[in-house]
Amino acid sequence: MTEQQQDQTGATREGGVSRRAVIGWAGAGVALGAAAVGTVAAATRDSGEQHEAALKAVPEVPFYGEHQAGIATPVQDRLHFAAFDVSTTSRDALVRVLKEWTKAAAVMTGGREVGSGATGLAEAPPDDTGEALGLPPSRLTLTIGFGPTLFEKDGVDRFGLKAKRPAGLIDLPPFPHDSLDPARSGGDLCVQACADDPQVAVHAIRNLARIGMGVVNVRWSQLGFGKTSSTTPDAQTPRNLMGFKDGTRNIAGTDDRTLGEHVWAAPGDGPEWMTGGSYLVARRIRMHIETWDRTPLKEQEDIFGRNKREGAPFGKQKEHDAPDLAAMPKDAHVRLAHPDSNGGAQLLRRGFSFTDGTDGLGRLEAGLFFLAYQRDTRKGFVTVQRRLAANDALNEYIQHVGSAHFACPPGVRKPGEWWGQSLFG
Amino acid sequence: MTEQQQDQTGATREGGVSRRAVIGWAGAGVALGAAAVGTVAAATRDSGEQHEAALKAVPEVPFYGEHQAGIATPVQDRLHFAAFDVSTTSRDALVRVLKEWTKAAAVMTGGREVGSGATGLAEAPPDDTGEALGLPPSRLTLTIGFGPTLFEKDGVDRFGLKAKRPAGLIDLPPFPHDSLDPARSGGDLCVQACADDPQVAVHAIRNLARIGMGVVNVRWSQLGFGKTSSTTPDAQTPRNLMGFKDGTRNIAGTDDRTLGEHVWAAPGDGPEWMTGGSYLVARRIRMHIETWDRTPLKEQEDIFGRNKREGAPFGKQKEHDAPDLAAMPKDAHVRLAHPDSNGGAQLLRRGFSFTDGTDGLGRLEAGLFFLAYQRDTRKGFVTVQRRLAANDALNEYIQHVGSAHFACPPGVRKPGEWWGQSLFG
């Protein structure tokens, strides 16, 4: 939060109340920039406090902009993703929720609490559920998307949006080996909450769900505990639960040319309301990690086409070296997923590892919650996944168990605008 | 990791291989103390990297000691908890796993990888599953416990341990309103993995499960995304998913007198092998948060006996002010749980918030995974929970859906000793 946004009383431009100001952390810790991290750390006493102090000094991610935050933004550590179904037939009610959501999103991504804060009435439920009080913004981003069923469901034009459905917002085709659970697939709307602190991400989804009560219901949700991709050039690529670096050579969030070519919808691509937006494919990919863990190293590396330790493609030394596809087995994952194998198709990936306890057989219910943004899903995910589903050596160890597709509109440019304004407005 | 533990090649005393040294982060970043956080932050470029750099500088938690780490240790941010069943009848096989687990635990809590690392054979599965390669120790602690069924199950003395079962390791009695799922209850063994990075905690449990294959199976597991208690005096108490500070006035990890009185088993308390150990009760407590979120603030505060914003007990100003129980409603949670209402009983709590997606009705499957350590569960948890289950106003909004009880042995004092040595040795 900048001082511009907050006066001495803790009130803010957006009407929210600073979570930190209210509980008495105002002062030295509030408006710290990067250079002050060391000072904060030195003033604290144990390693846990050091850690907390460092997190507090990280600035928020701006909510307003040409594109939605949470796409090209450097990938945060944790995810809470929710798909919603709209339970009303009233377009007005839906628009009202979208407007309220936008206000709440601007407030929460700034590390402030929803609603009137300290002035809330004792006789009414609190505006904010409260579990993030005192936590910093934690780089929270909230990214909204609209699913195919919002535009038409069972042949019904529910909200007068049918004519505005982008041709690119297809019903995803079935792929070989898919084993999709309808209860973990689809959705009229989605919100992707990413933050470095999962409590902040969970708080955000919960408060949006609460604001939407009676109009939208959570259809399914997914917690991701560790990012598996980076959009920061030259950063260490995180590892997936197979122990491999798989998000290497992702599109960089700073590479405007590639973002323009492969991620952002451009004028003429489809309906005007999506210009500056992006299409999101979400796939819940279960990994059979117990089987994988019994697989020899050489076989694991052949399957990826990459060595495990360094992450270097076959025949190369370093993770970020350009891969020599011919040096890999024909069914290697990296080879099949590479743009050169897919007519130049590139996806911006920001997937997360998940583990949801244990299944009935004592196996970890774990895997990759794959999230990919693209300018045109037909040229992007569908092209790549057709090839992978047919040939990828990895298929023996994974299964796609959930699937969804969303059109994520452009960013909210300034206070007063709202999520979906270009579509509904 | 200290320099004492690691030589120039990355090899360590324990035989593990430094996760960071191997992948080329050796040098400036490896042996940093607290004061260097600022330097690291200044050398990096974006807020995500700042954050990562700060985490890397936090030192590991020592594995060896009189008591197990992970009990009085300042509570880490994330949890992966696993209960295991022993599938063999062979005591020798079980002891072999416990010895291997101990070695692996010492290595992983030091931020090193399991097994032979770079010298692994291409023809064999890797010793370490690899997804934590490159991650710092993240204050990982691993804490083992032994459940009642390890000593006797269906009348069978499975491993010749029946005579050594502590009288205090009772089968927990049923409490009013319990709705326990057997698939989320019990277990012959447990391992609590706490770390500031969930990937590190998940990696640890997974690698222990893998080492134990054929001897122990995961019975159930639970991921906790946010701590709800602090064992650090004067630290901000984290909030639970009801938005309240509930771990206030927890036993401090530095308060040796209270730890001795209420947490550590003492000579004469029970069998000698438990001296220095502690009894752990784990309860999965589902919160009906949608209902809670519709409850007026005043009612919420009456239920806890605490104001929501500050966390101060009724009639007081500050969170840590000593509560005036008479100022609270008779059925207030804080009043009923207070030592003065329970003959002085005190628990060391280190619970975590969880959310495991959405239930069939679109409600967040969320709540508190309650973990409490104590010298004698009969005087501790059972005493307090009898009172709470009978009278707590909070019962309308929560339900206990999982339950387990474990005897956590004393610490491993030095390399060569092993988990459970005092019991099996």
Backbone angles phi, psi at A387, to 5 degrees: -70, -45
pLDDT at position A388 is 96
Does position A142 have pLDDT exceeding 90, yes or no? Answer: yes
B204 CB neighbours in chain A (<8 A) are none
A7 contacts A16 by C-beta, under 8 angstroms: no
pLDDT at B229: 87
Chain A residues 357-376 with a CB less than 8 Å from chain B: 357-358, 360, 362-364, 366
pLDDT given for residue A236 in this prediction: 76
Q: Are the beta carbons of B263 and B375 closer than 8 angstroms? A: yes
CB B258 within 8 A of CB B385: no
Looking at residue A51, its pLDDT comes to 61
Mean pLDDT is highest, among A40-49, A230-239, A271-280, A350-359, for: A271-280
Distance CA A294, CA A300 (A): 10
Q: CA-CA distances (angstroms) from residue B360 to A188, A341, B106, B396?
A: 17, 41, 41, 20
Q: Cα separation of A101 and A116, whole Å? A: 15
Cα distances from A152 to residues A161, A349, B325, in angstroms, run: 8, 28, 58
Q: pLDDT tens across A357-376, in order? A: 888 777 889 999 999 999 99
CB of A32 within 8 Å of a chain B CB? The answer is no
Asked if the C-beta of B228 comes within 8 angstroms of chain A's C-beta atoms, the answer is no
How distant, in Å, are the alpha carbons of A342, A371, A392 from that of A335? 10, 20, 9
pLDDT above 90 covers a percentage of chain A that reads: 75
Q: Cβ-count burial of B368 within 10 angstroms (0-12 exposed, 13-18 middle, 19+ buried)?
A: buried
d(CA A22, CA B254): 29
Closest residue on chain B to A24 (Cα):
B310
Cβ contact, residue pair B130, A242, below 8 Å: yes
Alpha-carbon distance A81 to A369, whole Å?
Answer: 10
What 3 state SS string does chain B have? CCHHHECCCCEECCCCEEHHHHCCCCCCCCCCCHHHHHHHHHHCCCHHHHHHHHHHCCCCCCCCCCCCCCCCCCCCCEEEEEEEEECCCCHHHHHHHHHHHHHHHHHHHCCEECCCHHHCCCCCCCCCCCCCCCCCCCCCEEEEEECHHHHCECCECCCCCHHHCCCCCCCCCCCCCCCCCHHHCCCCEEEEEEECCHHHHHHHHHHHHHHCCCCEEEEEEEEECEECCCCCCCCCCCECCCCCECCCCCCCCCCHHHHHHHCCCCCCCCCHHHCCCEEEEEEEEEECHHHHCCCCHHHHHHHHCECCCCCCECCCCCCCCCCCHHHCCCCCHHHHHCHHHCCCCCCEECCEEEEEEECCCCCEEEEEEEEEEECCCCCCHHHHHHHHHHHCHHHHCEEEEEEEEEEECCCCCCECECCCHHHHC
Please give the residue of chain B at the shortest CA–CA distance from A362.
B218
Distances (CA, A) of B259 to B69, B205, B253: 13, 27, 7
Name chain B contacts of A232, Cβ cutoff 8 Å.
46, 48-49
pLDDT of res. A7: 36
Token look-up 């050596």 returns: A393
Residues of chain B with Cβ-Cβ distance to A219 below 8 Å are 358, 362
Predicted TM-score of the model (pTM): 0.89
Instruction: Write out chain A residues lying below 8 Å of B59, CB-based.
Output: 47
CA distances from A202 to A115, A135, A195, A196, B3 (A): 18, 12, 9, 11, 39
- Model ipTM value: 0.87
Question: Mean pLDDT across the stretch A338-363?
Answer: 90
**Closest chain B C-alpha to A108 CA, distance in angstroms:** 15
How far apart are the C-alpha atoms of B267 and B276, rounded to whole Å? Answer: 8
Contact B418, B98 (CB under 8 A): yes
Q: A293: distance to nearest CA of chain B, Å?
A: 6
Q: What pLDDT, on the 0 to 100 scale, is given for residue A121?
A: 78
Which of A133, A209, A225 is closest, CB to CB, to B202?
A225
Question: Would you give the DSSP letter of residue A20?
Answer: H
Residue corresponding to tokens 């982060």? B25
Mean pLDDT of chain A: 87
Size of interface A-B (CB pairs under 8 A): 289
Give the pLDDT of chain B (425 residues) as one tens digit per residue: 333 333 333 334 344 455 544 333 322 232 333 333 333 333 334 455 666 676 677 899 999 999 999 999 999 999 999 999 999 999 999 999 999 999 999 999 999 999 865 446 788 999 999 999 989 999 999 999 999 999 999 999 999 999 999 999 999 999 999 999 999 999 999 999 999 999 999 999 999 999 999 999 999 999 999 999 888 876 778 899 999 998 778 999 999 999 999 999 999 999 999 999 999 999 999 999 999 999 999 999 999 999 999 999 999 999 889 999 999 999 999 999 999 999 999 999 999 999 988 887 778 899 999 999 999 999 999 999 999 999 999 999 999 999 999 999 999 999 999 999 999 98
| pLDDT above 60 for A30 | no
Measured between beta carbons, the chain A residues lying within 8 angstroms of B245 are none
- Cβ neighbours of residue B191 closer than 8 Å, sequence gap 6 or more: B81, B82, B84, B101, B142, B143, B144, B145, B204, B205, B208
Q: Chain B closest CA to A175's CA: distance in Å? A: 25
**Closest to B225 in 3D by CA, of A117, A206, A360:** A206
* Predicted local distance difference test score (pLDDT) of residue A187: 98
Instruction: Tell me what pLDDT residue B377 has.
Output: 98
Amino acid at B31: A
pLDDT the model gives residue B30: 28
Which 137-176 residues of chain A touch chain B by CB within 8 A? 139
Whether chain B has a CB inside 8 Å of the CB on A288: the answer is: no
Mutate to test the interface with A, among B352, B358, B401 (most CBs of A within 10 A): B358
pLDDT of residue A167: 97
Count CA atoms closer than 13 A to B26's CA, side-chain side: 15
Type of residue at B21: A
CA distances from B118 to A196, A309, A310, B294 (A): 31, 8, 11, 56
Give the domain ranges of chain A.
Answer: 1-59, 66-425
Cβ contact A130–B293 (<8 Å): no
**Length of chain A measured in residues:** 425
